[in-house]
Chain A
Amino acid sequence: MTRAAGVPSALGFAGAGRRAAMRPRALGLAALAGTLAAPSLAADIPPNERRSAYESMSAASKAMQDDDTANPGMLWVLDGEALWRRRDGERARACADCHGEAAQSMRGVAARYPAFDAKRAAAIDLEGRINLCRVEQQQGPALKPESKELLALSAYVARQSRGLPIESNDPRLQPTIEAGRALFERRQGQLNLACAHCHDEHWGQKLAGNAIPQGHPTGYPLYRLEWQGLGSLQRRLRNCMIGMRAESYAFDSPEFIALETYLMWRARGLSVESPAVRP
């Protein structure tokens, strides 16, 4: 009963199908039975209502993100620039030896990742692509997930796309997007919640005093004040899963890649903010 009391309107709105619909609470509870049986969720957020969580931040946090000398994420970007030029691996090649100046060659890249890797016939995210380059081209060891080096490189590459709109129009990604959507809408964990319950249906409302964002991954890797450090989208997803008391997927698992691919498709049109700052 605690669960129903905690999210009565979630169930009500799920029955209504649109978050804009205002329904009395009694109707919400009446819709409970049907919702639990078939969790068909609200329609996608229309493009003109898509919002980055940036917009609900405090003026202080916005100022921190906007000023490159106050944004701590830029510390990783500087490290990433050094790594970009550092010769590494058995072949002693630097990223810059093949890709040249990142400002040109990496412009817009992060805005269209995860991308489809034809050789593997699977979607691959930016961190995965960086590691693939390391292993295959530089012939060095792959960097560990959430390691300082991988975050620095991905922050540096993502920084080159700041301000560009997120794109997702590769038809080969469609099955991955669908798989990601299924995970996004699937109830899981001890709280029996789906991602969509908060981020499709209750964005803009409050959860324990915090604004619920739409959950668009516009600024990853990003500096979270709570983390006191930079973190990837997968770290954030892990966070959410632990919050709903579900068992998190492993780093770089197909489930995380699918979720990332779906989320970027869902956020298409929004501007890249990397490295963003979030509370």
Chain B
Amino acid sequence: MARSLIKVSPNPRRGEVIEIKTLISHEMETGFRHTSTGAAIPRDIITSFVATYNGEEIFAAQLFPAIAANPFITFYTIARESGVLEFRWTGDNGYAASEQVKITVE
């Protein structure tokens, strides 16, 4: 049940600096923990986050085991034109999730 929450102003003015908030559900298992019987719990984290704005990359981040569960990433961009913001998360064990948000620049 991978879920994400995105918050971005849907109708910004042209040239306005807009804040984009992204939250995604993920365990972010560090790989450093062990079970009560001593078996290592394998690493399972999101390793990469990329945001594009009408196909152009505007923000990217690499994630590491120290990032908490359910990573919350906030960043800014300038609203230049109406279009689609796309967010992609990829990680261990073939993890891939994506989300799209339409914005209309006035």
Contacts and interface: CB of A to CB of B under 8 A. Distances in A.
Nearest to A68: B5
A70 B21 CA distance: 7
Given A69-B21, A69-B23, A228-B28, A74 B5 contact: yes
Contacts of B24: 75
Interface string A58-77: 00000000011110101100
B68 to A, nearest CB: 6
A75 B69 contact: no
Nearest to B21: A69
Nearest to A83: B1
- Say which size band chain A's interface belongs to: 10 to 19
A16 B24 CA distance: 50
B6 interface: yes
A229 B3 contact: no
A79 B1 contact: yes
Given A75-B23, A75-B25, A225 B68 contact: yes
A82 interface: yes
Contacts of A82: 1
Given A228-B68, A228-B69, A228-B70, A72 B23 contact: yes
Interface in A76-123: 78-79, 82
B95 interface: no
Contacts of A278: none
A152 B70 CA distance: 15
B7 A67 contact: yes
Given A79-B1, A228-B28, A69 B7 contact: yes
A148 interface: yes
B72 interface: yes
Given A75-B25, A148-B1, A228-B28, A69 B6 contact: yes
B69 A78 contact: no
B68 A75 contact: no
A82 B25 CA distance: 15
Contacts of A78: 3, 5
B64 to A, nearest CB: 15
Nearest to A75: B25
B51 to A, nearest CB: 15
A46 B6 CA distance: 41
A210 to B, nearest CB: 19
A80 to B, nearest CB: 10
A247 to B, nearest CB: 18
Interface of A: 67-70, 72, 74-75, 78-79, 82, 148, 152, 225, 228-229
Given A75-B70, A148-B1, 4 more contacts: A69-B21, A82-B1, A152-B1, A228-B70
Q: List the 8 closest pairs (A to B, CB-CB), nearest first.
A: A69-B7, A228-B69, A75-B25, A72-B70, A69-B5, A79-B1, A75-B3, A78-B3
